[in-house]
Each structure stands twice: as structure tokens, then as C-alpha cells.
Amino acid sequence: MVRVNFGKVVIKTITGEDAEVDFRETLGNQLYMQGKDIEECELGKRIYYAEDAVDLSDKECDVVRNAVQGYPYISRTSIIAMLQSK
């Protein structure tokens, strides 16, 4: 079980500074609209409506990892690092 706050994803800016980016709406909508089954759609809703961090099972972490593969490098690697660091 991993606890992740997709509303506070820390990315490095081009100047090397840390910036918090909110991915709840983007990732939540993506999972909900493109979910392969009801569990992925429900995960999308949990992420979208989360006011704080969400608890993710190993299977749900894999779903998120797959979902962000098309994201830009900086965003993708920051999200994946959050899934692994917990």
C-alpha cells in the first residue's frame, strides 16, 4: 500500500527549482475515461475527488504507471518516483 498526493506532485523546473503541480484532474479524468474496467474508472474518480493523498495498492500503482507513460518526461518521472518512494 502506497499513499500518494497527486495534488502535490513536485517537479523540477528548467531553473532547477521545485514546483508543485496538481495532477488530480488530469490523471483522474484520464483513468475514468480510458479505464479498461470498473476498478480503473473508480480509481480515476478517487484520484480526481481526493482532497489529500490516496492509498494505492500495488495493482493500482501499476495502473497509474501505465497511464502516465504518455506524459512528458519530467511529469512522468516525478509521478513514478512518488509511487516508488513510499
In a domain, 85, yes or no: no
Query: Taking 90 as the threshold, does the pLDDT of residue 4 lie above it?
Result: yes
Count of domains forming the chain: 1
* Strand pairing class (18-21; 54-56): unpaired
Domain assignment of residue 51, yes or no = yes
pLDDT tens for residues 6-19?
Answer: 999 999 999 999 99
| 24 inside domain | yes
Query: Which residues neighbour 4 within 8 Å (Cβ) at sequence distance 6 or greater?
Result: 53, 54, 56, 82, 83, 86
Cell 474508472: give the residue.
41
pLDDT of residue 64: 98
Q: What is the pLDDT of residues 35-66, one digit of tens each?
A: 999 999 999 999 999 999 999 999 999 999 99
Cα–Cα distance list, 40 to 12, 20, 28, 62 (Å): 29, 25, 10, 11
Range of the domain at 51: 2-80
